[in-house]
Amino acid sequence: MKLKWWKILGIVLVLYSIIAGLLMPVPKLNILNETIRNLYFHVTMWFSMIVLMLMSLIQSIRYLSSFDKLRDLKAESLASTGMFIATLGLTTGMVWAQFTWGAFWVNDPKLNGAAVTMLIYLAYFILRNSIENEDTRARVSAIYNILAFVIMIVFIGILPRMTDSLHPGNGGNPGFGNYDLDSNMRMVFYPAVIGWILLGSWIAQLSYRIKVLEINKENN
Amino acid sequence: MKFIITLLFSLFCSTLTMAQDVEMADVMRSNGKIYVVVAIIAILFIGLMIYLIRIDKKVQKLEE
């Protein structure tokens, strides 16, 4: 009944990021003011979402090479947890945008890209639920998952960098990496990213284990 | 000797002025009480995590 070390590490890192993120000194910038601290909470959502989707992709590819049904279940759990985290990222981003850019939704390539990505992944779940046969469902959704991941990278990783974006690090804007993200912020930001990735994987793992329990119950 | 007397006197004076405004040295009330907010968010997060740990343990039990 022992808790795995990485789950405890995830809790400790996120707790650290909450306390240090609110109290540590941050660069004093116009418009952003104290909201620069959202970097520790909003941006980490997207980082962990991308990592969860990557893990889901890996499980899908491994499903296609082994046809092991459990891998398909893992891919689904990871993708749905990633979607949940993306929803949190989108909502927090909207609040942040309202008070720094002046509107809940602005015509920014990164925002629209994130919206497209979420619709693509919504389609993944609709596709899953629309196929009755288990093997076909697993195979088709694994292939679709590969496509969805590629589209996600294009829409939130590549396209925003090719045009002007309000997000730092894209288009003509200077990135946080250049001078805004000073060493103090890195000390909180990177642990926060790792912590949220670990927490996200934990939640995904729980939902996977519950699914396995349900299947075992049906078979008995 | 003179130095020590002045030092003691200045310390005494400073405690006097401190006693005048009632504000006590209290971490939780400094900086616009931001530490209270930090404490509350930390408690919420710890509570949620305890809940998550309990779910984990329950799933573990079901798996056995």
| pLDDT tens sequence across A77-88 | 999 999 999 999
pLDDT of residue A174: 45
A56-69 pLDDT, tens per residue? 999 999 999 999 99
**Residue range A17-31, pLDDT digits in tens:** 999 999 988 888 778
For testing contact with chain B, the best of A13, A15, A44, A92 (most B CBs within 10 A): A15
pLDDT at A62: 96
Contact B45 A209 (CB under 8 A): no
Average pLDDT of the segment spanning A36-64 = 94
Shortest CB distance from B38 goes to which of A11, A22, A203? A22
B30-44 average pLDDT score? 86
In whole angstroms, what separates CA A158 from the centre of its chain? 16
Tokens of A7: 């789950």
> How many other C-beta atoms are found inside a 10 Å radius of the C-beta of residue B31?
10
Determine the structural domain holding residue A89 and report its residue range. 5-219
Tell me whether B27 touches chain A (CB under 8 Å). no
Q: Does B63 touch chain A (CB under 8 A)?
A: yes
Tell me the chain B residues in contact with residue A200 when contact means C-beta distances shorter than 8 Å: none
Domain count, chain A: 1
Domain of A27: which CATH number?
1.20.120
Residues in A closer than 8 angstroms to B56, CB to CB, are 3, 7, 202, 206
Which of B30, B56, B58, B64 is the best substitution to test chain A (most A C-beta atoms within 10 A)?
B56
Say what the pLDDT of residue A92 is. Answer: 94
- What confidence category does residue A214 fall into, taking pLDDT thresholds of 50, 70 and 90? very high
Residues of chain A in contact with residue B41, where contact means CB-CB under 8 angstroms, are 18, 22
Could you tell me what percent of chain A has a pLDDT over 70? 94
Reported as a single tens digit per residue, the pLDDT across A127-142 is 999 999 999 999 999 9
Token pair for A18: 């909450």
Q: How high is the pLDDT of residue B33? A: 82
ipTM of the complex: 0.77
CB contacts under 8 A, A 20-39 vs B, are 22-23
**Chain A within 8 Å of B41 (Cβ-Cβ)?**
yes
Q: Does A166 touch chain B (CB under 8 A)?
A: no
Query: Cβ neighbours of residue A46 under 8 Å, at least 6 residues apart?
Result: A86, A89, A114, A156
Q: Which one has a higher pLDDT value, A144 or A185? A: A144
**Residue A28: C-alpha distances to residues A44, A51, A135, A165, A168 (Å):** 21, 30, 55, 22, 16
Of A76, A163, A151, whose CA–CA distance to A118 is shortest?
A: A151
For residue A113, pLDDT over 90 is answered with: yes
Q: Give the CA distances from residue A177 to residues A44, A109, A186, B28, in Å, rounded to whole numbers and listed in that order.
A: 15, 20, 9, 34
- Is A43 in contact with A170 (CB distance < 8 Å)? no
| Average pLDDT of chain A to the nearest whole number | 89
